[in-house]
Copies of this chain bind each other. A is one copy, B any other.
Amino acid sequence: MSYSSVSALTAVAPGQFNATVDPGWTIGGKPNGGYLLALLGKAAETAGDHPHVIAASAHYLSSPDPGEVAIDVEVLRAGRTASQLRARLAQGDKVCVEALVTTSTLGDSEPDWSAGVPDAPTAPFEECIRLSSESPTGLTIAIMDEVDLRLDKATLGFGRGRPSGSGALRGWLELPGEDFDPSALLYAVDAFPPGTLEVALTGWVPTLELTVYVRALPAPGPVRILQQARMIDAGRVDEACFVWDSTGRLVAQGTQLAGIRLPG
């Protein structure tokens, strides 16, 4: 089985890139929002003066179909230690995603203080349950055949039709044949199913806004993830996401606002 890279780009001119939205990276035929942001983050890292995305904020305008897309990046400010860039992903004449990206240089030292980060005890990788592309809501989650995404049995109530009510999912994510880098972490924060599954069964939960902070270079190996739904109202939910590398270092954090569609 061959896997496509989470953020493969072809540079066609300064600040301009082509990419292919892979049908494998979709949910119900629509590409994952974090996967699209990973493409924009990689483009910003390539177009700017600093090697690593440290903050990225995307607003989703319309979902591209699998196939060719164009990405353009504009440097808004090139600083000594950090730069800000605007990145846009378009298909034909339709802009699909616009994002603001701040790039800098990340290290891998330990945090100075992290007492504000939630605790998320998670069973070891081997004891978690790998999700398949057939979901309990009937959507085809093709992306589950591209990655190895495993949930702790304690947060799999939805799989037995009995959500715990916590709104939280814990588990692991591995990219077969590829280690995480900062731009791939932009995908990791949107990789998990919505925490709303542990509240009540829902259908497609399209991302409206996604913000990610990358805090350190991840060690090789799978990442551990906590996905937490916080509040559901007016057909929308916000979710927080925390991503730790294989050494237990918090490497990325995300927050998103998403729509909730009823199961179909």
- Give the interface of A toward B (CB within 8 A): 54-55, 57-59, 61-62, 76-77, 82, 84, 86, 95, 98-102, 106-107, 109-117, 165-168, 195, 199, 208-209, 211, 213, 215-216, 228-234, 236, 238, 240, 250, 253, 255, 257
A230 with B55: in contact, given A98-B86, A100-B100, A257-B213 (CB under 8 Å)?
A: no
Chain A binding surface SS class: strand
The CB with the most chain B CB atoms within 10 A, among A62, A95, A107, A111, is that of: A111
Given contacts A59-B102, A215-B233, 6 further A-B contacts (CB under 8 A): A57-B57, A77-B95, A102-B208, A114-B230, A116-B231, A255-B255
Q: Is the CB of A209 within 8 A of B213?
A: yes
Known contacts: A116-B195, A166-B115, A229-B116. The answer to whether A234 contacts B55 by CB under 8 A is no
A257 to B76, CA, bound (A): 18
Find chain B residues with CB under 8 A from A116 CB.
166-168, 195, 228-231, 240
